[in-house]
Amino acid sequence: MTSKLCRVATLVILLGMMSTAKADIIMLEDFEDTNVNYTGIIHFHDGAPNDDYIDIVPLNGGTSPDDGAYNGFGGNNFFGVEDMNATGGPGNGPGLMTQFMVFNINIANFTDLTFSGLFAAGSNDDNSGDFARYDDPDGLRITAQIDGGTVQNLLAFEADNAAAIGFNDVIRVDSDFDGTGDGFAPTSTFTAFNNIAITGTGNTLTLVLEISFDQDNEDFAFDNLTVEGINVIPEPASAALLIGVFGVALLRRRK
């Protein structure tokens, strides 16, 4: 009878430990220095007076949008985009309509994966009274893929095409990923999007940001890109507790 009670107690403790497991940060890109986790981006900043850029701001150049300074980002820097298809000038821009920021993240031994980040749009809250400035091709789409499997849409921002003319639109969350913004319209104050679920487990998570802001005054920014998950291998302290629990149970069973 005593051994049964010990086994039940052990099971209850184990279940309690599992239910209170906290997510660990697997990857954090905060853009605080040039030691970054991503590949694929051609950084540039063509300098004044045009100030076109796709880069870490203000660390590598670029400024806040014309309609007011960005605020609410983490630390001292963030990643900013404005007129990314510019060519020539001191920065010798790549002239690309779209760029891809790619993260390859080791997720072995992690479950319950989530993505979080801070996002801002510098040309939605236009204080001059003009139209917003985003066009149909503009947007940011974030996808996830585990070990080369199904591509999962996590978060997207697209022009809303409310004016039905294909340009000078507000950029919004694209909740159904159909290419047209239909939800929340971010402003120059960074907004957190937290704990977006990533389905599945495996060894490598490929996180991709598809970035398209190709004209003047189409400002967008993001910061603190984070992937979290629950480690299925117990921490040393937890492992020691498990050994202790089983040891007590074994001793009581022998008595």
Can you tell me whether residue 164 is helix, strand or coil? coil
Helices 2-19 and 236-254 cross at an angle (nearest 10°) of 170
Residue stretches of the chain with pLDDT short of 70: 1-20, 48-50, 62-68, 86-95, 125-132, 162-166, 234-255
The pLDDT tens digits for 175-210 are: 999 999 999 999 989 999 999 999 999 999 999 999
Can you tell me whether residue 238 is helix, strand or coil? helix
Structure token pair of residue 85: 């298809």
- Domains in the chain: ranges and CATH: 26-232 (2.60.120.200)
pLDDT of residue 60: 80
| Residues 75, 156: Cα–Cα separation, whole Å | 24
| Residues 233, 239: Cα–Cα separation, whole Å | 9
Question: Where in the chain does DSSP place strands (E)?
Answer: 24-29, 38-39, 44-45, 53-57, 78-82, 87-88, 93-94, 99-106, 110-121, 139-146, 152-159, 171-173, 191-198, 204-212, 220-231
Closest CA to 4 of 249, 254, 191: 249
| Residues 167, 134: Cα–Cα separation, whole Å | 6
Please count the other Cβ atoms lying within 10 Å of the Cβ belonging to residue 36.
Answer: 16
> Helix, strand, coil % (nearest 5) of the chain?
15, 40, 50
